[in-house]
Structure 1
Amino acid sequence: MSDVTDAVVRLVEHGPTVPAMVLVSLAALIATAGFHTRWSRRHGQAPPADDTGARPPTAERPAGTGPTGSEPGGSEPGGSEPVGESALWRMRTTVRDAPGSLAVLCAALAEQRIDILSLQTHPLTEGTVDEFLLRAPDELSGAELADVVTTAGGARTWTERADAHDLVDAPTRVLGLAVRTALDAAELPLALRQLLGRCTIRSHPAPTEGGAAARAAEAVPPEGALEDTVLRLRAPEGGVISVERPHLPFTPAEFARARALVELDARLGPRVPRERDVLTLPEGSDITVRRADTRDVPAAKAMHERCSERTLGMRYHGPVGDADRYLNHLLSPRFGRTLAVQTASGRIVGLGHLLWDGDETEVALLVEDGWQRRGIGSELLARLVAMAADAGCESVYAITQASNTGMVAAMRGLGLPLDYQIEEGTLVVTARLDPATRSAARLPQAERIGRE
């Protein structure tokens, strides 16, 4: 992974033109490699069901004994691929670091007509963690698969249903994540999640001197810290990125990959995609929608000054005088993505935020008073929800006041299933983004008339 970091950084440091062409070429190469990998597989796979089949790590058991301590049961001689319907599984198990240990495990899988599609090894101080992508008979459950592995000498075995995306080989996947991170600083949390699987990622802002957060940040060494199911890394802007995966301990190899990805982000500095969409609103005005970051804080503060106290109160749910203090956090790519709406004169008149909140995702809108009720809020919300869907989010939520009819109407206008929770005047509206409902959603509606 460090080699990938150095290569991508060297490309980007040559200037804005060369990286764009090369990174596009890399993306095409990745797509071609992924297509070739999937094309070469001889059995089609369905996406995993809602129950992913994930099973917690199993206890250790002496090799050569069945689940109840008996000799393992026989089956037809293996070596052939699964017959009939099959399913993809991701599996991780720990084996002894001794000659023949992996061979015994592979033979046991073959006896059950389980095909090994890929294998990665993670050396530990004692033993080795082997990570498999498997194709198994459809009737084999995760618990049964774990029993087969445990009988063959595997320990602390974890299984989870996989899908066709897992067929992309590890180097191609890592290179793709590096390219995404190089193009957009907001991709780092998403890239870490794809790199490390199901986990909770939190970005803690740079601490104030002498506070508890400062002491916590100082406790993380420059090279980061790995503690079983939690890893912590120094964020480029001075905060801390923490990743938790309670169901599966991190390996030193995973820690090194995550650290290299954060190092890549730090070396490239602030960056957001430069594309700008010029749109015509239903009432005829032209606006530009683009990504924003902390370099837009002065323009965002100027918009605050033009907003009424009621508008700011609806957005921030607190003292209006504190509104400016939130902007550095809201506009930081570390905590999500921000869209800005600007007029032909370049003045920002609207902001939309997509904020990563652990395992959940928040959307928030602010539109200057004079530009409200022109469709800007709905346009921003639709684009933010489309971003969330592309990032694999299962839902988004908005926190507002029950009297904020504009925000409620914008959420309803998405055409997605909504859940409402009201507590002491605060309204939380959650939109579900499962594939079945996303296809029916009414996403960006303003007419695009150009892209800069």
Structure 2
Amino acid sequence: MADDAAAQKTGPATGAPRPWHRAVRAARAGWRAWCAQDTHPGPGQGGAEPDGRPGAEGETTLWRARTTVREERGSLARVCVALAAHQVDILSLQTHPLGDRTVDEFLLRTPVTLEPEALARLLTGAGGTGARVERADAHDLVDGPARVLGLATRTALDSAELPLALRSLLGRCSIRSVPGDTPGEGTLEGTSLRLPDPAGGEIVVERPHVPFTPTEYARAHALVELDARLGRRTPPHRDALTLPEGRAVTIRRAGEGDLEGALALHARCSRQTLRQRYHGPVKDADSYLRHLLSPRFGRTLAVESPTGELVALGHLLWDGDETEAALLVEDAWQRRGIGSALLRRLTDMAREARCESVYAVTQASNTAMVAAMRGLGLPLDYQVEEGTLVVTATLAPATVAPR
């Protein structure tokens, strides 16, 4: 999630104005969406008519589909019959009653030849309205109640999990944290949810074109209430990293309590190192730390020396549908593999969070960061603009066993 005021002026990790970077990422996201064709607004917008042709043996696709039907006898049955006629398996179904209407949400397995536009038309032809179809994956095969309990467990263990849990719960949506007075109960307004943020202000969740249901609002509110009751928390796990000279440093999660140590790290770094990290005036570097260390905006890893000083920070920041990774390593500790070790761990976190990609913003002359991205062994995309380089790594999804 990103603070509204900050988002208008700065990038999520660097704090430096990057309007061109937003444009580059928007173009890249549009290209991926066009290639994947994984979100479709409904019937009548291209695609072949459904013909029931099965794909090659074993070739199927998972989709999440949602449609609204009138609350009357046989309405759901008509939808199910239409799907069965085209060899579509219903793997799970959730219903959201809305008085005289019901929103039905399906997890479907279809022949690979059945296009999503055609699937949306099937739902409409069976009496549904506002049909929406988007790509699903193996994570969605987990039993619904078990998945919600898993999200609650993740939220209970780590404050930084709340925005990710909300996104997993509600599907494709944007989540941002807005400062100000915290509303008493929150509100549901069509395609927008406003929830009280336990950290202050409110959490705004938006999902264009697909209104939230009271059931979804209640589930989201319950997750936020759980987070509020438990207070701030960070996993205590610590890893040892042995450097080439034999000394061991510690890698652990960091939070707002590490602000003093992070400021001291800044004070020991050269102006060049800070400039490479923040891409803006060095004098402003300290002002970014409180935002970067907040669990509401991502996750931070810290590297501690044997004497307990912070010598490096790695940030993983939620940036809409994308995720930014950023590194800062004190000059005296560079070229020892610390940055690469941090980046690997941040990338693993992003993969576990079901992020599709991780990007790093750096200067074209920063060969260490470029080498660390290449060291991930992942497909990379490079975008260069006025000496600034954006390197994006495409992530393979984490393996999840089906039920």
Equivalent in the alignment of 2:351: 389
* CA 1:350–1:57: 2 relative to 1, 3 Å: same
Structure ranking higher on relative contact order (CA contacts 8 Å, 6+ apart) = 2
Matched-pair contact (CA < 8 Å) for 1:82–1:114: no
Query: 1:121 Cα shift?
Result: 0.8
Q: 1:57 aligns with which of 16, 32, 42?
A: 42
Q: Is the 2:358–2:395 contact (alpha carbons within 8 Å) kept by the matching residues of 1?
A: no
* 2:188 corresponding residue in structure 1: 226
TM-superposed CA distance for 1:266, in Å, is 1.6
Deviation at 1:347, TM superposition (A): 1.1
- Whole-angstrom distance in 1 between the partners of 2:164 and 2:225: 15
Structure 2 residue corresponding to 1:306, chosen from 244, 253, 268: 268
SS of 1:374's equivalent in the other structure is coil
Q: What is the distance in 2 between the residues matched to 1:344 and 1:252? A: 52
Distance apart, 1:135 and its partner CA:
3.5
- State the Cα deviation string for residues 252-276 of structure 1 (Å, max 9, x = none): 2112211211111121111111111
Q: What's the Cα RMSD here?
A: 3.0
Q: Is the 8 A contact 1:223 1:233 kept in 2?
A: yes
Structure 1 residues 365 and 434: alpha-carbon distance in aligned structure 2, compared to 1, 3 A threshold: closer
* Residue of structure 1 aligned with 2:119, choices 145, 165, 189: 145
Structure 2 residue 315 is the aligned partner of structure 1 residue 330: no
Cα gap change, 1:110 to 1:373, in 2 (>3 Å): closer
Instruction: Give 1:137 deviation, angstroms.
Output: 4.2
Does the 8 A contact of 2:69 with 2:104 survive in 1? yes
Partner of 1:380: 342
Residue 52 of structure 1 and its aligned partner are, at CA, apart by 5.3
Tell me if 1:351 matches 2:278.
Answer: no
Amino acid at match of 1:193: R
1:429 aligns to what? 390
Distance 1:268 1:407, change over 3 A: same
Q: Structure 1: how far apart are the matches of 2:302 and 2:51?
A: 64
TM-superposed deviation, 1:82: 11
Partner SS state of residue 333, structure 1: coil
Cα distance, 1:235–1:428 mapped onto 2, change above 3 Å: farther
Structure 1 position 361, deviation (Å):
1.1
Q: Distance in 2 between matches of 1:406 and 1:307?
A: 16
2:156 counterpart (156, 168, 182): 182
How high is the sequence identity, in percent, across the aligned residues? 64
Identify the residue that residue 135 of structure 1 maps to in structure 2: 109
Q: Distance in 1 between matches of 2:267 and 2:389?
A: 27
How far 1:105 sits from its partner (Å)?
2.8
Moved more, 163-172 or 354-363: 163-172
Query: What is residue 22 of structure 1 aligned with on the other side?
Result: none
- The 5-angstrom pairing of residues 440-451 of structure 1 reads none
Deviation sequence 1:24-81 (CA, Å, 0-9, x none)? xxxxxxxxxxxxxxxxxxxxxxxxx96355321348xxxxxxx99xxxx999xxxxx9
Find the counterpart in structure 1 of residue 258 from structure 2: 296
Indicate if the aligned counterparts of 2:55 and 2:113 stay in contact, CA closer than 8 A: no
Change in 2 beyond 3 A, CA 1:312/1:84: closer
Provide the C-alpha distance between the structure 2 equivalents of 1:74 and 1:309, rounded to a whole number of angstroms: 64
Asked whether the 8 Å contact 2:249–2:304 carries over to 1, the reply is yes
Q: Give the alignment partner of residue 90 of structure 1, picking from 50, 56, 64.
A: 64
1:279 is matched with which residue? 241
Larger Rg: 1
Instruction: From the superposition, tell whether residues 339 and 53 of structure 1 become closer, same or farther in structure 2 (CA, over 3 Å).
Output: closer
2:155 and 2:220 mapped to 1: Cα distance? 12
1:77-125 deviation line (CA, Å, top 9, x unaligned): xxxx999655433221111122332233333334444433322111124
Q: Counterpart of 2:42 in 1: which secondary structure?
A: coil
1:162 aligns with 136
Q: Residues of 2 paired with 1:391 and 1:198: CA distance?
A: 14
Q: Say whether the 8 Å CA contact 1:57–1:248 is kept in structure 2.
A: no
SS at match of 1:400: strand
TM-score by length of 1: 0.72
Counterparts of 1:50 and 1:180, CA distance in 2: 32
How far off its partner does 1:247 sit?
Answer: 4.4
Aligned counterparts of 1:145 and 1:411: Cα–Cα separation in 2:
39
Contact 1:92 1:157 in 2 (8 A): yes
For the structure 1 residues 383 and 413, does the alpha-carbon distance in structure 2 shift closer, same or farther, using more than 3 Å as the test?
A: same
Q: Write the distance in 2 (CA, Å) between the matches of 1:422 and 1:51.
A: 24
User: CA separation in 2, counterparts of 1:310 and 1:130?
Assistant: 56
* Equivalent residue number for residue 20 of structure 2: none
Q: CA separation in 2, counterparts of 1:55 and 1:260?
A: 30
The 3-state SS of whatever aligns with 2:40 is coil
Q: Alpha-carbon deviation of 1:236?
A: 1.3
| Mapped partners of 1:298, 1:89: distance in 2 | 47
Unpaired stretches in structure 1, ≥5 consecutive residues: 1-48, 60-66, 76-80, 207-213, 440-452
Paired residues, number:
361
- Mapped to 2, the partners of 1:230 and 1:247 lie a distance apart of 10
* Number of the residue aligned with 2:215: 253
The residue type paired with residue 417 of structure 1 is: P
The normalised TM-score by structure 2 is 0.81
Aligned: 1:265 with 2:227: yes
**Residue of structure 2 equivalent to 1:9:** none
1-side partners of 2:120 and 2:384: how far apart?
Answer: 44
The answer as to whether partners of 2:191 and 2:212 remain within 8 angstroms in 1 is: yes
Residues of 2 paired with 1:285 and 1:118: CA distance? 52
Cα distance, 1:252–1:432 mapped onto 2, change above 3 Å: same
Q: Closer, same or farther in 2 for the Cα pair 1:57/1:256, shift >3 Å? A: farther
**One-letter code aligned to 1:226:** L
* Secondary structure at 1:188 match in 2: helix
Query: Which residue is equivalent to 1:124?
Result: 98
